[in-house]
Amino acid sequence: MTPHNAFLEIRNLTAFYGDFQALFGIDLTMDEGDTMAVIGANGAGKSTILRTLTGLLPSKGQDIRFAGAAIAGQPAHLIHKAGIAMVPEGRRLFPSLTVEENLSIGASGKRKGPWSLAAIYELFPDLHDRRHHGGTALSGGQQQMVAIGRALMSNPRLLLCDEISLGLSPKVIKDIYTAVPLIRARGTSMLVIEQDIAQAMAVATRVICLQEGRVSLSGRPEDLSRAEITRAYFGLEADEPDTNEPAQEML
Amino acid sequence: MEWVNVLIQGVLLGGLYALFAAGLSLMFGVMRFVNIAHGDFIVLAAYLMLSFVTFMGWHPALGIMAVVLVMGTIGYLGQRILLNRVLGKDILPPILVTFGLSIILQNGMMEVFSADSRRVSSGALDVASISLPGDLAIGAMPLLMFVVALGVLAGLHVLFFHTALGRLLRATSDDAEMVPLMGGNKAHIFALATMIASGVVAVAGIMLAMKTNFDPSAGPSRLLFAFEAVIIGGLGSLWGTLAGGVVLGVAQVVGAQIDAGFQILAGHLVFLLILVVRPQGLFARMKG
């Protein structure tokens, strides 16, 4: 693949929930092998991008190209077959299925590749002993591992992760993020949504910051200063009272 | 001894009711909608059996296979072409559409087959019985039907818990929105669920045709029995469905033993009693 032929290319993406407009013309480009972090405050439109990309939200008429093909408007299962898998916000494991069944469900699209049950258990050894437990009988961190493993089972070319650190302790977050380089090493590109900016900057090769449905900053993490990110994250009215809380998250 | 006999008859009848209920329960479990025309599809299967075996003179085994095949095809296509279009967040459209289907089916069958009540004879099997010690006799036909019902339920159990399709159906039941993100085609999975349910409906209809007289308007009360068996057994539980069918069957047969006119009412009363005492059913797996 040549660098000029973008792996993922989104042009002027808009999205609505009824009358409410969530995205106002987002442009986003990724090369294969990139780990892109999408950061931004609550309600900035991060999850909406993923929901549109996967086909969960209608994307008819939008300009989304993945691996050379236009995928906008396609049904979700065909987008999945094209090689985009998601770790959804809140994990969304199937509660009546065991850990192993949850993982196997991820392979429903029958895509070929390096990932198998054995490879997932190697990546997350904790899951092997609990493979016959109910998917939701595990700790939050282990459930997140199942959700990541389930997405990997489809051998995606692009893995979308929606807030995988949400509600987990710092130690567990660290454990889970140690898997990111291992996933990348097997040839999977990643698009990661994070509120934990430090974590996001540590793993990402590219960052974009959203603010109220628009891209407020994009670049390589090493090129961006802390002040730039703060401004892009909170906007110019950084002294608004309700922005105090996210400010602490950054520290 | 008379009461032991009554109890056995009730349990055997329960097998048929479990089959009525299993199709309804499966569709509700996977797609969260109630097929109001469920009973009419059972009667349609009964008429198909009548057409193939009595009118066209096919061998019963061939007739059974044909009915299952035709009903399964109707189920898949009906779901794919019609019902998938009305399934959504609003629960009313599928209820209205299947209610309409129920009326169309009843009137269509009336046009084609008249209002006369019919029955499919199974020859010598109709009167054959097995004698047990203690002056008990079990009809061969009811026993055979019960065994077939158990076989169908066991088959569904294997399908649900030991196949990839069953895993997908259970996942769809848990969280249908997530299934396409796993690569599953929801429209196809829904249609397969209805196809399987229609296969069970076909077997139930064939049994109905061989067990008793039926006419084009027999559907709604079959739907009611199916409903009651599902609720008594508990939503989402396959073997609970069997228990629900048996409870309903025993209640009806005991009621009939007390007074012939009390049969149906006795079933309804036991159903209401269980609703009051244990509204989630005997073996509930599913909430809400």
Task: Report d(CA A78, CA B44) in Å as an integer.
Answer: 36
The answer to whether the CB atoms of A94 and B180 lie below 8 A apart is: no
Encoding tokens for residue A103? 């993982």
Cα angle, residue B76 at apex, residues B185 and B60 outer, rounded to 5°: 145
Chain A nearest-CA distance from B164, in A, is 8
Question: Structural domain tally of chain A?
Answer: 1
Instruction: Tell whether B105 is covered by a domain.
Output: yes
Longest dimension (CA), chain B: 61
Instruction: Tell whether B204 is covered by a domain.
Output: yes
Nearest Cα to Cα of residue A100 among B226, B171, B117, B180: B171
Q: Which of residues 161-220 of B touch A (CB under 8 A)?
A: 164, 167-168, 170-171, 173-175, 177-186
* Closest chain B residue by Cα to residue A88: B178
**A162: Cα separation from own chain's centroid:** 4
Q: Which of A77, A85, A104 sits opposite B185 (nearest CB)?
A: A77
Q: How does the average pLDDT of chain A come out, rounded?
A: 88
Question: Structural domain tally of chain B?
Answer: 1
Q: Which of residues 99-118 of A touch B (CB under 8 A)?
A: 101, 104-111
Q: What is the pLDDT of residues A4-63, one digit of tens each?
A: 568 999 999 999 998 999 999 999 999 999 999 999 888 889 999 999 999 999 888 889
Instruction: Tell whether A3 is covered by a domain.
Output: no
Chain B nearest-CA distance from A128, in A, is 19
Q: Which of residues 62-101 of B touch A (CB under 8 A)?
A: none
Encoding tokens for residue A189? 């590109």
Alpha helices in chain B (DSSP H): 2-31, 38-49, 60-77, 84-86, 92-113, 140-162, 164-174, 186-211, 219-233, 238-258, 263-277
Residue A99's CATH number: 3.40.50.300
- Give mean pLDDT in consecutive 10-residue pieces for chain B, a chain of 288 residues: 89 96 94 95 98 95 97 98 94 95 98 95 84 85 94 96 95 95 95 98 96 95 96 88 96 94 94 92 68
Instruction: Tell whether A168 is covered by a domain.
Output: yes
The DSSP line for B74-110 is HHHHIIIIIIHHH-SS-SHHHHHHHHHHHHHHHHHHH
Cβ contacts of A157 on chain B, cutoff 8 Å: none
- Residues of the domain holding A153: 8-250
The answer to whether the CB atoms of A95 and B185 lie below 8 A apart is: no
* Closest chain B residue by Cα to residue A102: B171
Instruction: Tell whether B242 is covered by a domain.
Output: no
Q: What is the pLDDT of residues A144-163, one digit of tens each?
A: 999 999 999 999 999 999 99
- Residues of the domain holding B47: 19-216
The answer to whether the CB atoms of B174 and A104 lie below 8 A apart is: no
pLDDT at position A232 is 87
* Closest chain B residue by Cα to residue A106: B182
**B148: Cα separation from own chain's centroid:** 13
Residue A238 has pLDDT above 50, yes or no: no
Confidence band for A242, pLDDT divided at 50, 70 and 90: very low
Helix, strand, or coil here: A2? Answer: coil
Would you say B41 and B194 are in contact if contact means Cβ atoms under 8 Å apart? no
CB of A3 within 8 Å of a chain B CB? The answer is no
Burial pattern B74-86, b for ≥16 Cβ within 10 A else e, equals: bbbebbbeebbee
Looking at the predicted complex, does its ipTM rise above 0.90?
no
